[in-house]
């Protein structure tokens, strides 16, 4: 059952350099209790999509140009501030990459944890404090009752992230949006945090949207995944399917670039060129200039995501027309080092 439905979301930023089309037609739905991953590189629009849903886009220069975000009968993109505040932090929560920017450095942890309970649930401060200590203990923080009065800087990065998760889950939200929550953490701490989120999610039945650039984390954590590029979803699939049978050259290229899947001495696959300039109107597929499978039609027509097999959709026009059936052996051979020029962008050179 879908609890969140996003339709044709477009968020643009009006800057002096031009109009940045950060999110340019994103649609998806999230079911109850589902773990959905959004994967993409910097500038793909994955974070802006989620910030838009929660009304966290600064306006100006940002503007939600179109779209609907349906949650429990309300359109989050056009509801009143009062309605949004009642949902944000209580029914839909978010955790961020850098715990130092989402935890107020001037407030004790106790105050920060107690705040959502007092505000959203009308609890008394002492009742809220008890609950806060419990939630920290559930997340494996030792001596919670004495350390709860510390300031954020007195905790390590991993601890702060756990505190942020405690804050986000304390009101038992229906949806948790996690924006690269482990990217800044050591890998052993990342493993702990992911286990923790999984466990709490199982206990609370929360749906999770997990934003990351790390395909390993997607494989480990998410049941469904959306791949974003240049502000659009280019492929949407169950995770197993995405890895087994990618249906978009970009998704396949991303997987091919991962060192973990290569033998030493075997040159890594590299995607030539650079992501497109989002201030320019892109004709056709945004990935075409860098795509080994692109043909004329790709540069002319832009198509929406279309389901090819059950639950597996792609925005690649050639797949939609059955001109491509699989990407095995079709990707160009791993490139040996060479200067690559991206097609269609004569001014740009490969990174």
Partner 1 sequence: MSAFLVTRDLKTYFPIYQGAIFRKQIGAVKAVDGIDLQLRKGEILGLVGESGCGKSTLARTIMQLIPNTEGTVLLEGRDLSNLPKNSVRAERVNFQMIFQDPYASLNPRMTVFDALGEAIQTRRKLPKRMLLEKVALLMHTVGLPANQMRRYPHEFSGGQRQRIAIARALAPEPKLIIADEPVSALDVSIQSQILNLIANLRQRMELTMIFISHDISVVKYISDRIAVMYLGRLVEIGRANDVVERPMHPYTRALVSAVPVPDPERERRRQRILLQGDPPSPMDPPPGCPFHPRCPFAIAACKVSRPELEEKEHGRFAACIRIGEI
Contact residues: partner 1, CB under 8 A: 41-42, 140, 156-159, 186-192, 194-195, 213-221, 239-240, 243, 253-255, 257-262, 264-265, 267-271, 274, 335-340, 349-351
**Segments in 170-284 forming alpha helices (H):** 187-204, 215-221, 239-244, 249-256
As a residue count, the chain comes to: 351
Q: What's the CA gap between 256 and 228, in Å, rounded? A: 17
- We find the least distance from the C-beta atom of residue 259 to partner 1, in angstroms, to be 4
* Residue 171 vs 340, nearer CB to partner 1: 340
- We find the least distance from the C-beta atom of residue 55 to partner 1, in angstroms, to be 28
* Residue 130 vs 183, nearer CB to partner 1: 183
Q: What's the CA gap between 28 and 50, in Å, rounded? A: 12
- We find the least distance from the C-beta atom of residue 246 to partner 1, in angstroms, to be 12
Q: What's the CA gap between 230 and 200, in Å, rounded? A: 33
- We find the least distance from the C-beta atom of residue 257 to partner 1, in angstroms, to be 4
* Residue 2 vs 351, nearer CB to partner 1: 351
Q: What's the CA gap between 117 and 108, in Å, rounded? A: 15
- 3-state secondary structure (DSSP) of residue 147: helix
* Residue 27 vs 255, nearer CB to partner 1: 255
* Residue 116 vs 158, nearer CB to partner 1: 158
* Residue 259 vs 329, nearer CB to partner 1: 259
Q: What's the CA gap between 314 and 303, in Å, rounded? A: 9
With 0-12 / 13-18 / 19 or more C-beta atoms within 10 angstroms meaning exposed / middle / buried, residue 351 is exposed
Q: Give me the helix-helix angle, 187-204 and 157-169, nearest 10°.
A: 10
- We find the least distance from the C-beta atom of residue 332 to partner 1, in angstroms, to be 14
- We find the least distance from the C-beta atom of residue 263 to partner 1, in angstroms, to be 8
């Amino acid at each position: 059952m879908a609890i969140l439905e996003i339709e044709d979301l477009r968020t643009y930023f009006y800057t002096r350099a031009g109009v940045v089309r950060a999110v340019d037609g994103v649609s998806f739905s999230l079911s109850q209790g589902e773990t959905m991953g959004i994967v993409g590189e910097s500038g793909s629009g994955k974070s802006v999509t989620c910030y838009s849903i929660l009304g966290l886009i600064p306006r100006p220069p940002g503007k939600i140009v179109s779209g609907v975000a349906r949650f429990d009968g309300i359109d989050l993109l056009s509801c009143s501030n009062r309605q949004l505040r009642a949902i944000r932090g209580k029914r839909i929560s978010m955790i961020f990459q850098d715990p130092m920017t989402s935890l107020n450095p001037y407030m004790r942890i106790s105050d920060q944890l107690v705040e959502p309970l007092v505000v959203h649930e009308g609890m008394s401060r002492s009742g809220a404090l008890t609950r806060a200590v419990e939630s920290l203990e559930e997340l494996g923080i030792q001596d919670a009752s004495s350390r709860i009065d510390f300031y954020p800087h007195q905790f390590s990065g991993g601890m702060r992230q756990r505190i942020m998760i405690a804050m986000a889950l304390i009101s038992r939200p229906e949806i948790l949006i996690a924006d690269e929550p482990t990217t800044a953490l050591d890998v052993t701490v990342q493993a702990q945090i992911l286990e923790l989120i999984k466990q709490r999610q199982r206990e609370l039945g929360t749906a999770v949207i997990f934003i990351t650039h790390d395909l390993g984390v997607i494989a480990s954590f998410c049941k469904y995944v959306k791949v974003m590029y240049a502000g659009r979803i280019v492929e949407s699939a169950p995770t197993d399917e995405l890895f087994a049978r990618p249906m978009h050259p970009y998704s396949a290229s991303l997987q091919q670039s991962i060192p973990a899947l290569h033998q030493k001495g075997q040159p890594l696959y590299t995607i030539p060129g650079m992501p497109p300039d989002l201030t320019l109107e892109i004709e056709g597929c945004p990935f075409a200039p860098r795509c080994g499978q692109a043909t004329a039609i790709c540069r002319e027509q832009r198509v929406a995501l279309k389901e090819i097999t059950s639950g597996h959709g792609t925005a690649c026009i050639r797949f939609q027309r059955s001109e491509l059936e699989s990407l095995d052996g079709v990707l160009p051979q791993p490139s040996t080092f060479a200067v690559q020029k991206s097609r269609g962008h004569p001014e740009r050179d490969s990174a």
